[in-house]
Structure 1
Amino acid sequence: MAIGLALAIFTLAAYKIITSKLATARYKAESSRRGCAPAPALHSNNLLRTSRLKESIKATKEDRGPQYVVSAMNEVGPNIHTVRVPILDYELLVTRDPENVKAMFSTQSADYDISATRSNAFMPLLGEGIFTSRGAQWKHSRALVRPQFSREEISNLTLVERHVQTLLSVLKVGEKGWTQTLDLQPLFFYFTLDTATEFLYGQSVDSQAAIAGLEKSDGNQNPIDGAAFSRHFGVAKHLIDKRGALGKFYWVMPMRKMKAHCREIHRVIDGLIEERLRGKRDVAREEEKGGRRFVLLDELAKETRDPLELRNETLHTLMAGRDPTGALLGWVWYFLARHPETFRKLREIVLAQFGMSTSSVIDDFAQLRRCEFLQWVMYEVLRIVAVIPMNERVALRDTTLPRGGGEDGSKPIFVREGIQILIPLYAIQHRPDIWGEDAEEFRPERWQGRKIGWEWIPFGGGARKCLGQQFAFTEASYLMVRLLQRFDAVENMEGPGEIKLHTAIENRSGTGVQVRLHAAA
């Protein structure tokens, strides 16, 4: 019995070794035929080839994950922008080369798509939808959602204004015109959650009202605890990020905690959908406020009445509408509090263009986009912190990438079917040969006259580019204008310290945004 088992193990091991060597020989021959050369390797420091994975997980826990990628790639060489990373029995590619990004997202996009790793990480919370699906299912999701984001109604600034006023009421001014020291970061996530849920479901979860003890924004005293919903969503997002960081070993992470948070999120979303579909909302109240509002769920329901599909697609949009914009707003004020000259310059420009009144609605979103310096500040924030720090693709078939092979990285790389390619946007956006020797500095003026290419894709690119990009910039710009009208100074209350990039799919400040604000006279 023991001899038989030993023989079976030996035979299996021999088979694995032989098939691996045959496959390697085939790949080398195909690579040579295509004129490719291998990318340099970022080797592990242990026998099992797991040290890089362990280092990456440790760095993420210490809120320096994106910086670790830069330092690890620089170990191979500061001018090396694509590397192979062997991990256990497989390897992946990491590229910070914009030309390779362009190939995967645009010119060779038929050869690449999102990986099963990404889908498996997101699936417990979001289900099948535009961010987790591939092939025909993805095309269906895209066709369902995309037309709604070409409408003018997505820039409904009246909707945003109501939630801005709630936020302003939370920022209470005390002695000598200063607020108390407060953390703006969670307040911005409450704000974007409220606007996103109203846009999606026709009613807000009113998380801001919940924390401030105010009346619901629409007068409807629904039983939803918006602040609790926000917490469930935040924890679930953090767990998704941990699950995704494990790569193909995502299944080792315990799911009890994740399932509990997802269950609460789904319960609230299912209730919002059911209420809207059954027509329980007071439409007369909606019309009283300026006519029937655009509600994404109403438009999706014209195409499907499947509650699960509606939950999945709206949850995908909710995540995209709440988190990147909330993180962006937090980081903008993080940097403004540390760069008073930029704050003063931006406020002067805003007041010159929009005036000081916070009572009149800005109803022209194009006017917000024309405020160039405001856009530059947000662009620079998105560059320096990379709100979405990592993207990825997997090869659907044997294919190539245009650069990274050979000693100088000038030759194409052969990419065999099934290989995952990580795209660290933070690393791309901190390359001094692209952005200058001051790439680590916050300098919005660098955007003057700059033509944007594949070195800056904060919302992705190609067919999978985020549909809500315009809505995100409009919402963030609007709130920025209102806050700059209301407050004439911001003071950093955290003190000096290294930036902490806390990853929950998107980067948030690991120390929060600890400031106090001074009200304009």
Structure 2
Amino acid sequence: MALLTPGVIFLTRSAVSLLFPCSIMVAVRYSLSHHFDIHVPMPVLVATIVIVLPCVAYARYGLVQMHQRRRAAALGARIASPLAGKWPANLDHLAALVKSAEGGYPAEFVWRYIEDYGTVHDINILWESEIWTYEPEHIKIILSSEFPNYVKGSTFGAATQSVLGTGVFNSDGDMWKFHRSMTRPFFSRDRVGDFNIFERHADVAIKHMKDRLRAGYAVDIQDLVSRFALDSASEFLFGKNVDSLADPLPYPYYAKDEHPIQTSPADAFARAFADAQFFVSRRSMYGWMWPLGEIFEDKTKKPMEIVNAFLEPIIADAIKKQQSASVPMEKTTEVMEGETLLDHLVKLTTDRVILKDEVLNILIAGRDTITATMTFMTYLLSQHPDVLARVRAEVLENVGPSAVPTYDNIRNMKYLRAVINETLRLFPAVPFDVRQSVNEAVWPSPDPTKKPVYIPANTSTVYCAFVLHRRTDLWGPDANEFDPDRFLDYRKKYLITNPFIFVPFNAGPRICLGQQFAYNEMSFMMIRLLQNFSTITLDVDAQSPETRPPASWATATGRKGLEKVWPKAHLTLFAHGGVWLKMSGAV
């Protein structure tokens, strides 16, 4: 079974699909030889196969394109503008995309595509249509008004199956509804308004920060918040804290020789978690050909072995507890007092695969959304001391210098909510999202002088919140600036009149169930930070040189020219090399 890598499976299936045309050509050679005394040498036959098969494939692609143009015309529409590459199959665009993902700014290539092809276009790499849009009207169609026609689909599912399995983020139809129905009751207001878990882990995190800061070292806020989020999420989900905050915090680059890196099971889990997501994101980039990069190994296998080794004993214990209960727990969607999400799920199913996939999907959401948003929010506050002073004043006015924030405190803090939203606008935790059309469809044209856009059946559609949230025609000329007041002053008219210009938590039937939970957790942690620290300063020297933004960025336009940290993305957004901060005590 170890030999059945994604690449081997892909090649085997491809060989089977090629067997029929090759058999026909062999049969033709046999017939010419035995019935017409025409002998075709084997090298000629092989050369013919090598030449003919790509020609047949290209001809088939041409016929598909012709059919789509005819269907579009019949519906009074047009096909999405395809990228025109210099190399066959738009391989030059693929190379640029990969280069940008590894050494550039997120989605920077998209702005050139928008300028050349408009706000909806067909990437069309490796002869596979993939329609990208940055139009709120199209996003509304995908996520809400025509939701049943846009599923996660087989393309996304194949690339992410080894990590996400059949969890809620990777499933469709009845399986998606089943996962959704299992988890929905757990995110009721009384559950998401219970801050006891946040309080325990926030206190531990801040103690570690103070210890490290007193020693004169900067703290990687991304690492710290990731630990806080992981410990909080694991206790919320499993009733078992992984205790990642018990591990020593990393030291800055300039102190690495004095303090060697230490690892632990919790640290290994977090790293494997990130590695698995990285490999999945790279698969999606290479489209249908991604298995060819994994002929000798499934690149997600090793990190997922670490992740599964961590999760499976927890799930086994929950199942054992359910099965050994003197009075079996009733299969009900009602959440009992003191029940964790895993306790709740095992009442509904004891299928280990379903349970593991679901808790892993929720764990990704619970950790990565909080980590990304808190990381970039503290970074932005370090660059905008006026915003920091104002939001801290709101904290002190509403909560005080040491009191534990309550649900009502958080609900009444409008400026803090605006700071979070403005961070989510500029740095959405999920910068790209993918759907696949079930049936053919027609989207309205962004240009009223042109025909609507035709969407073929079974076509991948991608919307990019990272770009959508920064469009100056949708958010105003200052869209690249960090200004939380845009969610409070006259500029909020942009959002009120067009709510689908802001989709950090998805929308429609798949809207994030944990949205309010995430807002509460981020608000709670930020309040605790601002109660304890009055200034936040970015320490660029603490970061490893190769993870700092390249010097060439300084002359770039837009936010790229402003950044002092390096945003990157796998399934979710993160800061390359972390965000190293120094903070001073409250006054």
- Calculate the TM-score normalised by the size of structure 1: 0.88
- Deviation (angstroms), 1:341: 0.5
Q: State the shift of 1:403 in Å.
A: 2.3
The range that moved more, 251-260 or 44-53, is 251-260
1:428 equivalent in structure 2: 468
Distance apart, 1:368 and its partner CA:
0.8
Q: Mark the CA change 1:74 to 1:501 in structure 2 (over 3 Å): closer, same or farther.
A: farther
Q: 1:38 to 1:306 in 2, by over 3 A?
A: closer
The Cα of 1:173 is off from its aligned counterpart by 5.0
2:389 corresponds to? 344
1:199 corresponds to 2:217: no
Instruction: Look up the SS of the partner of 1:196 in the other structure.
Output: helix
Question: How many aligned positions are there?
Answer: 493
**Residue in structure 1 matched with residue 569 of structure 2 by the alignment:** 503
Pick closer, same or farther for the CA change 1:409–1:179 going to 2, 3 Å.
farther
Report if aligned partners of 1:84, 1:94 keep a CA contact under 8 Å in 2.
Answer: yes
Match of residue 518 from structure 1: 584
User: Is the 8 Å Cα contact of residues 56 and 65 (structure 1) preserved in structure 2?
Assistant: no
Shift of 1:435: 1.0
**In structure 1, distance between residues paired with 2:191 and 2:482:** 34
1-structure distance, mates of 2:369, 2:504:
10
Q: Distance in 2 between matches of 1:346 and 1:122?
A: 39
2:203 aligned partner: 165
1:30-82: CA deviation from partner (whole Å, max 9, x where unpaired) = 21221212333322121342111111111010141322222332243xxx211
Moved more, 45-54 or 321-330: 45-54
Q: Aligned pair 1:57/2:98, yes or no?
A: yes
Letter matched to residue 479 of structure 1: M
**Match of residue 31, structure 1, among 72, 83, 89:** 72
Q: Which amino acid aligns with 1:319?
A: I
**2:537 corresponding residue in structure 1:** 491
Cα distance change, pair 92–412 in 1 and its aligned pair in 2 (3 A)? same
Deviates more, 1:270-279 or 1:190-199: 270-279
Structure 1 pair 8/32, CA: closer, same or farther in 2 (3 Å)? same
- Quick one: which of 231, 238, 244 aligns to 2:284? 244
Displacement of 1:151 = 5.2
Aligned pair partner of 2:306 in 264, 268, 275: 264
Cα distance in 2, alignment partners of residues 338 and 409 from structure 1:
43
8 A contact 1:153–1:294 mirrored in 2 = no
**Counterparts of 1:142 and 1:294, CA distance in 2:** 18
Mean Cα deviation higher: 227-236 or 425-434: 227-236
Letter in 1 for 2:568: H
Shift of 1:395: 1.2
Kindly provide the CA deviation profile for residues 261-312 of structure 1, in whole angstroms up to 9, marking residues without a partner as x.
Answer: 10111111111122233349xx9xxxxxxx9633100111110112221111
2:114 counterpart of 1:73: yes
Task: Look up the SS of the partner of 1:253 in the other structure.
Answer: helix
Shift of 1:174: 7.5
Alpha-carbon distance in structure 1 between the residues aligned to 2:165 and 2:242: 21
Partner of 2:316: 274
The separation in 2 between residues aligned to 1:240 and 1:409, in whole angstroms, is 39
Tell me, yes or no, if structure 1 residue 396 matches structure 2 residue 438: yes
Q: Which moved more, 1:197-206 or 1:25-34?
A: 25-34
C-alpha change, 1:252 and 1:8, in structure 2 (3 Å) is: closer
Query: Contact between 1:69 and 1:424, CA under 8 Å: does it hold in 2?
Result: no
1:39-50 alignment runs, 5 A limit = 39-50=80-91
Conservation of the 8 A alpha-carbon contact between 1:208 and 1:227: no
Q: Which one has more relative contact order, counting CA pairs under 8 Å at least 6 apart?
A: 1
State which of 161, 172, 185 in structure 2 corresponds to 1:123.
161
Aligned alpha-carbon RMSD (Å): 2.5
Cα distance in 2 for partners of 1:21, 1:292 equals 61
Pairing partner for 2:223 from 171, 178, 186: 186
Amino acid at match of 2:65: T
Partner of 1:288: none
Report the Cα distance in structure 2 between the residues aligned to 1:144 and 1:277, rounded to whole angstroms: 16
CA positional deviation for 1:327: 0.8
Query: Structure 1 residue 257: deviation in Å?
Result: 4.6
| Other-structure match for 1:217 | none
2:478 partner letter: D
Amino acid at match of 1:31: A
Counterparts of 1:14 and 1:272 in 2: how far apart (Å)? 54
Determine the C-alpha separation between the residues in 2 that align with 1:228 and 1:8: 49
Counterpart of 2:504, as a letter, is P
Which structure 2 residues correspond to residues 217-366 of structure 1 after superposition, within 5 A? 225-254=265-294, 255-279=297-321, 293-357=338-402, 360-362=403-405, 364-366=406-408
Write the letter of the residue equivalent to 1:481. I
Are 2:212 and 2:219, in contact at CA under 8 Å, matched by a contact in 1? no
| 182-191 or 235-244, larger mean C-alpha shift | 235-244
Encode CA deviations 1:392-445: one digit per residue, 9 max, x unaligned. Answer: 1111111122224xx767531111112111111111111110111111111111
Distance of 2:522 and 2:104 partners within structure 1:
25
1:387 is the counterpart of 2:429? yes
Aligned to 2:18: none
2:248 to 208, 211, 214: 211
Partner residue of 2:527? Answer: 481
Report % sequence identity.
27
Deviates more, 1:310-319 or 1:248-257: 248-257
Distance in structure 1 (CA, Å) of the matches to 2:343 and 2:58: 57
> Tell me, what secondary structure is at the counterpart of 1:403?
coil
Task: Evaluate the alpha carbon distance shift between residue 13 and residue 316 of structure 1 in structure 2; reply closer, same or farther with a 3 A threshold.
Answer: closer
| Structure 2 counterpart SS, 1:302 | helix
TM-score, normalised via structure 2 length: 0.79
The structure with the largest alpha-carbon Rg is 2
CA distance in 2, matches of 1:127, 1:137: 11
Cα displacement (A) at 1:17? 5.1
Aligned to 1:139: 177
More helix by share: 2
Cα deviation, residue 188, structure 1? 0.6
SS in structure 2 at match of 1:391: strand
Residues 440-494 of structure 1, C-alpha deviations (whole Å, 9 max, x = no match): 1111111115245101101111111111111111100000001101111111212
Question: Secondary structure at 2:124's aligned position in 1?
Answer: strand
The alpha-carbon distance between structure 1 residues 265 and 401, as it changes in their structure 2 partners (threshold 3 A), is same
Larger deviation, residues 317-326 vs 85-94:
85-94
**Does the CA contact (< 8 Å) of 1:178 and 1:519 recur in 2?**
no
1:376 corresponds in structure 2 to 418
Match of 1:441 in 2: 481
Distance in 1, Cα, partners of 2:321 & 2:189 = 23
Cα distance change, pair 352–400 in 1 and its aligned pair in 2 (3 A): same
**Equivalent-residue separation in structure 2 for 1:252 and 1:17 (angstroms):** 20
Q: Tell whether 2:517 aligns with 1:471.
A: yes
